[in-house]
Amino acid sequence: MNEGQSFGKNETRNEGKALRHIAFIMDGNGRWAKRRGMPRTFGHHAGLEAMRRVIRRSGKLGIEVVTFYAFSTENWSRSPEEVNFLMNLPVEFVEQDLPEMMKNNTKLIITGSDENVPLKTLEAIRRGVNRTAANTGLVINLAFNYGGRDEIVHGMRRLAEKIKNGSIAPEEINENMIRDSLYHPEIPDPDLIIRTSGEQRLSNFLLWESAYSEFYFAPELWPDMNGDVLEKIIAQYQQRDRRFGNAK
């Protein structure tokens, strides 16, 4: 089955070093479009196609979770036209790809805040999440209206409420409690974070969860990402020695 036919089906398991969760900072859509003399929105649409290619190959490789940094809390500073376009991409994704997600047992989850997100976008996202909630295959995690610091603030407020109502004492707080207060504590931390376009920074992405993630900074702009590039990155990852702070 080629990438153009379906995505999300766990056909084979990845071998060697454990790779359960890959997270992507999808950078370079605007530059990709500019090089072609096209508006930034053209690049964002091409970026959605790249996301589909990555999902398809990830499903075939047996990856459990793929997270995409789709819209950050800082992206609201972009032009109203660009923001409106980005707000419509989840609508397009759910409308067009939900049948494939259901066919391939793929689950959609969202990481981020509802604040300021248009109702049409929220309704589409919730429809996708609700329809795929019972699926048990590849998890597509869209980080939408997401910021790592906001996530931690959200979690600290939840813990503060528990302290306030007396259900926990401050000295009882530990790493597990903090993790459990974040948006999706049920998914594993990313083993590998890939950022495209050659930029080498985290940009407020998964600040808590990335403590022991491996990083790969790909020179390709995000719309040029495909399954073959992904497999080359995974092969490089498999050569690394992950110590998790332990000396060997």
What is the span of the domain harbouring residue 226?
A: 21-146+189-237
The secondary structure of 114-145 as a DSSP string is -TT--HHHHHHHHHHHHHTTT--S-EEEEEEE
Segment 31-46 shows an average pLDDT of 97
What's the pTM? 0.91
Q: For this structure, is 191 an active site residue?
A: no
Q: For this structure, is 75 an active site residue?
A: yes
- The predicted pLDDT at position 241 comes to 80
> Which residue has better confidence, 2 or 153?
153
Q: Which of 14, 27, 29, 191 is catalytic?
A: 27
Read off the CATH number of the domain in which 60 is found.
Answer: 3.40.1180.10
Q: Which of 2, 14, 29, 75 is catalytic?
A: 75
Whether 154 is in a domain gets the answer no
Structure confidence by residue, pLDDT tens digits, 214-224: 999 999 999 99
Residue 146 tokens, joined: 């997401």
86 vs 45: CA distance, rounded Å? 9
Structure confidence by residue, pLDDT tens digits, 168-180: 999 999 999 999 9
117 vs 131: CA distance, rounded Å? 20
14 vs 28: CA distance, rounded Å? 28
- DSSP tag of 103: H
Whether 12 is in a domain gets the answer no
Segment 110-124 shows an average pLDDT of 97
By 3-state DSSP, what share of the chain in percent is helix, strand and coil, each rounded to 5?
45, 15, 40
Q: How confident is the model at residue 18 (pLDDT cuts 50, 70, 90)?
A: confident
Number of domains into which the chain is organized: 1
